[in-house]
Amino acid sequence: MRFYIDGNNMAGAVFGTRGGEAPRERIFLFLQGRRLPKETTIVFDGPPFRTEVTGGRIRMIFSGNRSADELILSKLTKGDVVVTNDNELGSRARVRSASAMSVKDFMVKIEPKEVNREKPAREEDIEGWMKVFSEPEDGG
């Protein structure tokens, strides 16, 4: 199962901006620090603003003279996942036996699990917490 991200769509959803070089670079760097599925490709519209890049589990490619949607659709195989908020792209992916996932659902999937910082992390910490939160022995 491979994941294809509609890059400009995700940049707009995450950062509220569309097009240009800065949002593309920014979303790529943002994704590098996340728990991504093994084969993840982010596809941007238009010519490359830099050479194609692979970093960690993500690869960044550009659609050149065709749309990113068309490039994504041409690469899909059964079981692949398209990450987009574009309903038309999602429908077209499903016709090709792939699935579609919203940007929001994908972000939930890749966000690092939050560590509960209220609980003590080590055995020694438990004793300290017990002293802080226990009632005084003299009842007052």
Per-residue pLDDT of the chain (140 residues; tens, 9 = 90+): 999 999 989 988 888 755 555 677 888 888 887 889 889 999 999 887 766 666 678 888 999 999 999 999 999 999 999 999 999 999 999 999 999 999 999 998 888 655 444 554 454 555 555 555 555 555 55
The confidence score (pLDDT) of residue 18 equals 53
Instruction: Report pTM.
Output: 0.74
Instruction: Give the type of residue at 120.
Output: P
Sketch the domain layout of the chain as residue ranges.
3-110
3-state class percentages of the chain: helix first, strand second, coil last, to nearest 5: 40, 15, 45
The confidence score (pLDDT) of residue 90 equals 96
- Burial (CB < 10 A; 0-12, 13-18, 19+), residue 32, is middle
The CA distance from 96 to 89, in Å, is: 11
The CA distance from 136 to 121, in Å, is: 24
The confidence score (pLDDT) of residue 135 equals 55
The confidence score (pLDDT) of residue 115 equals 45
Element (H, E) at 111: none
The confidence score (pLDDT) of residue 33 equals 75
Closest CA to 36 of 10, 13, 75: 10
Strands 58-62, 40-44: parallel, antiparallel or unpaired by DSSP?
A: parallel
Strands (E), the chain: 3-6, 40-44, 53-55, 58-62, 81-83, 99-101
